[in-house]
Amino acid sequence: MTTETGIAAPPALSLSAPADFVALLKPRVMSLVTFTGWVGLVLAPGALHPVLAAVAVLCIAVGAGAAGCINMWYERDIDAVMRRTRHRPIPSGRVDPGSALQFGVMLAVASVTVMGLAVNAAAAALLAAAIAFYILVYTIWLKRRTPQNIVVGGAAGAFPPAIGWAAVTGDVSLSSLALFAIVFFWTPPHFWSLALCRSDDYAAAGVPMLPVVAGPRSTRRHILAYSVLMLPLAPAPWFLGTSGPVYAAGAVLLSLALVGGAARIFVERSDAAARWMFRYSIVYLALLFALLVADRAFAGPW
């Protein structure tokens, strides 16, 4: 639509549907984050009343969604440029930016407050740190400034298992830090695989992702290096006594497949290989954490 002067008019804001506000929460990301938080809660020594456990998991989900919502508000300018994100609720005009920001802040404050009042201060503090890290450190400070944005910023997505653990124990332990490390070091090869396929989009938006700044070859080397690192890191819960040999064996096999996917990217240098790696990395993390629960359920604490 254009005005009488021939200048394109901004899209008219329509009444936002509930589904648009749900989309602001990045539900696919939120679901994986919530799952890892729940696993941390299940693995933690001790017990938490089922109602309080449900509240803790809900707070992790809402907090993750709030961070995603504020991220979409801040990045609405680059989302409008990139093909992958231009149809999101804010750049497409379905949700007003101010309404999105208010929604995200409200959910963030509510999730931390409820976690602190209903569960414990340690879990609430970790949840607040995760939200703040994702918004302030990753979204505002790092993403548009350095190709290492996803390396440091990945810490935000690694908090949930430690939050779930702290909900039960009230503290942070070496075992919960191992769960944190698994997600932290999984994040770069996961996102860089996607970035290889979307480098033109990132370049157009001015986001210095590794393929844009260092090139595809360097990115493939980094993906392979981080994937190899998962071989000793993924079985860490077994070394620490959090899980048993069933998990350890599964973790090694899954990690070998991850390394195989990274090696395929390095050799084939194709978008198809990168897309396979991106999709498998999601399955990989989900299966790792599912194995932790299955190992505990069927074999008990080791």
Residue boundaries of the structural domains of the chain: 19-172, 173-302
Q: Give residue 226's Cα distance to chain centre.
A: 17
CB 130 within 8 A of CB 159: yes
CA 244 to chain centre: 26
State residue 239's pLDDT score.
95
How deeply is 259 buried, as exposed, middle or buried, from its count of CB atoms within 10 A (0-12, 13-18, 19+)? middle
Tracing tokens 């899980």 back to the chain, one arrives at 243
Whether 181 contacts 158, CB under 8 Å: yes
**Residue 294 pLDDT exceeds 60:** yes
Could you tell me the pTM of the whole model? 0.91
Instruction: For 77-90, give one letter per residue: b (16+ CB within 10 A) or e.
Output: ebbbebeebeebbb
Is the pLDDT reported for residue 11 higher than 50? no
Over residues 207-261, the pLDDT tens digits come to: 999 999 999 999 999 999 999 999 999 999 999 999 999 999 999 999 999 999 9
Question: Using one digit for the tens of pLDDT, what is the confidence trace for 126-168?
Answer: 999 999 999 999 999 999 999 999 999 889 999 999 999 999 9
* CATH class of segment(s) 19-172: mainly alpha
* Fold type of domain 173-302: Four Helix Bundle (Hemerythrin (Met), subunit A) (1.20.120)
Measured CA to CA, the distance from residue 192 to residue 222 in angstroms comes to: 9
Residue type, 287: L
Cβ 227 vs Cβ 188: under 8 Å: no
**What is the chain's percent helix, strand, coil content, to nearest 5?**
75, 0, 25
What's the whole-number mean pLDDT along residues 47-76?
Answer: 97
DSSP 28-77: HHHHHHHHHHHHHHHHSSS---HHHHHHHHHHHHHHHHHHHHHHHHHTHH
